[in-house]
Amino acid sequence: MYVFAEKFSISRRNNQNETGYLLTITSQQENEFVKKFLEENQVDFAWLGAHDSDTEGEWKWNGELGSPDANKVFFRKPKLATSEEHTTQLEFISNNGLFSNWRPTEPNDADADEDCAVISSKDGGWNDVRCGYVDAALIVEFGSTELKIISQPTQQTDPSFEKKAHEEL
């Protein structure tokens, strides 16, 4: 679903002919704005335009057209390192002061294949999920504070929506 959401987002244009992109959240203020937007629209989860599919643990914003932060690495998960004494320690990796809002135990790559990210309306926290995860809304951003829900997950997959969206691409 993430690949579909990403491709669908960049196929959208606004009135100023700007290319759309999946949510890219770069500050606490923006994160709170999105959380409130999701709550008001009764959306549990929404896709973030973030992935670590190129390098595990290195999270960056999607590199498609439109996003001002395209391909920018915003988070590197600390790696375990072993010293000569064989003691394990966390190797500090700088995130250059860039914003992220991972839940306390995230990103954890729990299924060994969680390379995409979502934001929760409950706490505004981020979680890494499988890219095929289907319970997230697709929201297109155009570099402004105006957000619009393009699709919301349902209990059953609506094949007509997916077919129509693919035809639009």
* pLDDT number for residue 160: 42
- Mean per-residue pLDDT for 98-102? 92
The answer on pLDDT for 157 being more than 60 is: no
What is the three-class DSSP state of 5? helix
- Could you tell me which residue, 161 or 87, shows the higher pLDDT? 87
Task: Give the CATH superfamily of 2-168.
Answer: Mannose-Binding Protein A, subunit A (3.10.100.10)
The per-residue pLDDT for range 33-77, each reduced to its tens digit, is 999 999 999 999 999 999 999 999 999 998 766 677 888 899 988
Q: What is the pLDDT of residue 81?
A: 57
Kindly report the pTM of this predicted structure.
Answer: 0.76
Q: What is the pLDDT of residue 66?
A: 66
Token pair listed for 42: 């009764």
Tokens 């999701």 — which residue? 38
13/31 Cα distance (integer angstroms): 23
Domain ranges of the chain: 2-168
117-141 per-position pLDDT tens digit:
999 999 999 999 999 888 899 888 8
Note the pLDDT of residue 168.
42
Cα separation of 166 and 47, whole Å?
Answer: 18
Q: What is the pLDDT of residue 13?
A: 76
Q: Alpha-carbon distance 150 to 52, whole Å?
A: 24
Summarised one tens digit per residue, pLDDT across range 15-37 is: 777 788 888 998 999 999 999 99
Q: Is 164 helix (H, G, I), strand (E, B) or coil?
A: helix
- 125-161: burial string, b at 16+ Cβ within 10 Å, e else: bbbbbebebeebbbbbbbeeeebeebbebeeeeeeee
| Phi (first) and psi of residue 76, to 5 degrees | -125, 120
Sorting pLDDT into bands at 50, 70 and 90, what band is 111? confident
